[in-house]
Amino acid sequence: MSILFETDQPFWRKVDQNIKLNEFTQEEFLHYSKKHKEYRRQNFAKKDAIILKFGKEEDDIMCCNVSNFRLEISNHQKLGAGLKLISKTNCFEVFGSIEQWHQDLKKYCIQNNLKTKYTIGKKLGNGSFADVHLLIHKESKQEFAVKIYDKASTKFDLTCVKQELDILRQMDHPFTSQIIEAYESSKYLYLIQEFYKYGSLYEYLLRNEIPEEDAIKTTHKLLEALVSVHSKGVLHRDIKPENILLRKPNLEDIVISDFGLAVYYNEHGKYNHQRAGTPGNIAPEILKDQNYDYKVDVYGLGIVLYQMLTSLHSPFYNQNYQKMLSQNQEGFIDYSQMKCSSQTIDLLTKMLDPDPLTRYTAIQAKLDQVFKKYNRQTIIIKRKKIVQDKTTSSFSPRSDSIIFSPSPKQTPPLIVSSPKNSSQFSKRILGLQLRSKPDERRQFFSPNSFINCGTPKNSSRQQQKTSTHQTRKSIYQGLISQKAAF
């Protein structure tokens, strides 16, 4: 059984309300009936990691969350290929047209036969407890990146791994990285993701200057991704050029990656390691040990836009590390030497506002005048619909909604409802998390850090730079290097 599996709760739970079935994919499978002692046809439905089982009565519906169950393909002499889901003491097995369900559940379940399907290639990065390798599918020859954890390492942090994995599973925007599959052996845990052979925005900026129009277009795409991330109640907390990867040799297809410092929004503004991020790209309120919300990501993206317009120059760059942190904390930026339009400067000042209460949210930034030609959402205004910003904090004067993060100690209730009361069937998989950080990224110790993911270690730093090629690592080095804390 996978070490990621939480507790062996009852496999099936009774759902005492009707369900909005159009949100689920329904299939008929052959399933063994203990009562009749034979395989019988039965209807099942699936949405993400939730499986529904239908009984004879209309309201007889059972549900099961199969996150981190063992996923296997079984074979029956007469029935053919089957799909098997295994928890600690229970097993669910069906036969029939299982191909699509098998493909969908790879994202949420754990498999155990990686080396029969893939060849592990060259190392892309290494760290104290996890390595990133190139992974090649044996049949298709398609390339992936696999993050390999040594489960026996004293620095392996299971709680953090779970949270990062859960967050990655929720990412579904084309401009955010996602988990493809997860495998586990007796010694290692493998997380498979897309391989970005064209590198990062940081590496792109080392070779190219970006015209203002291209920088604005790229920022708009990244804001679309941020809106999606925030809508799921997630803060990224480490938006920077190294964590923006390229699917093509240009900026047409870009991805926000590396959710190792990501956390669920907390209405009190307190998170795992309150100080987290990369010096030079951190929102001032983090360095001031203040409570914070989604707007820290808007600030990080504002710095990225600034760097695109100035060829990687950091507004807070200083060879003296402490001075750089002090300037970053103050948040003063001189725009007088920037060669760009007044509209772009106006956007920057609103994204990089040192006061989080007056800073743009991701939705507000996306609707800025500078993006007018990219925004089709102006139709919403004509239809007189109210656009609610779901990412304002509970302590912001403009807050009209709150997104709560799931507690790491409690399983959120499964809410089901019917078209009769027009509410929605919703579920959230229990939160998990991990991340290893590059030297540039820090988890700064502060009194507000009320939850620890592992034991932070103090580390010295000979050179503290945020924009020189010499101190930057491979884009995959950031996926695996040791956590740092101050």
Output the pLDDT for position 8: 62
Rounded to whole angstroms, how far apart are CA atoms 347 and 356?
A: 15
Residue 155 has pLDDT above 70, yes or no: yes
Classify domain 201-405+436-479 at the CATH class level. Answer: mainly alpha
Per-residue DSSP letter, 15: E
Residue 69 has pLDDT above 50, yes or no: yes
CA dihedral (229, 440, 152, 119) in degrees, to 10, reads 70
Output the pLDDT for position 117: 96
Residue 416 has pLDDT above 70, yes or no: no
pLDDT tens sequence across 17-50: 666 778 899 999 999 988 889 999 999 999 999 9
pLDDT average, residue stretch 5-13: 75
Residue 383 has pLDDT above 90, yes or no: no
pLDDT average, residue stretch 280-298: 96
pLDDT tens sequence across 200-251: 999 999 999 999 999 999 999 999 999 999 999 999 999 999 999 999 999 9
Q: Which has the higher per-residue pLDDT, 88 or 52?
A: 52
Q: Is 346 helix (H, G, I), strand (E, B) or coil?
A: helix
Output the pLDDT for position 229: 98
Rounded to whole angstroms, how far apart are CA atoms 175 and 256?
A: 6
Q: Is 63 helix (H, G, I), strand (E, B) or coil?
A: strand
pLDDT tens sequence across 157-181: 888 889 989 999 999 999 999 999 9
8 Å CB contact between 230 and 216 = no
Rounded to whole angstroms, how far apart are CA atoms 45 and 32?
A: 17
Q: Name the pLDDT band for 138 (thresholds 50, 70, 90).
A: very high
CA 457 to chain CA centroid, nearest Å? 25
Output the pLDDT for position 376: 67
Residues written for the chain: 486
pLDDT average, residue stretch 293-315: 95
The answer regarding whether domain 13-102 maps to CATH 3.30.530.20 reads no
Output the pLDDT for position 440: 52
Which of 80, 84, 39 lies closest to 66, judged by CA?
A: 84
Rounded to whole angstroms, how far apart are CA atoms 283 and 320?
A: 19
The residue extents of the domains of the chain are: 13-102, 201-405+436-479
Q: Which has the higher per-residue pLDDT, 272 or 458?
A: 272
Q: Annotated binding residue at 106?
A: no
* Angle, alpha carbons 199-201-202 (nearest 5°): 95
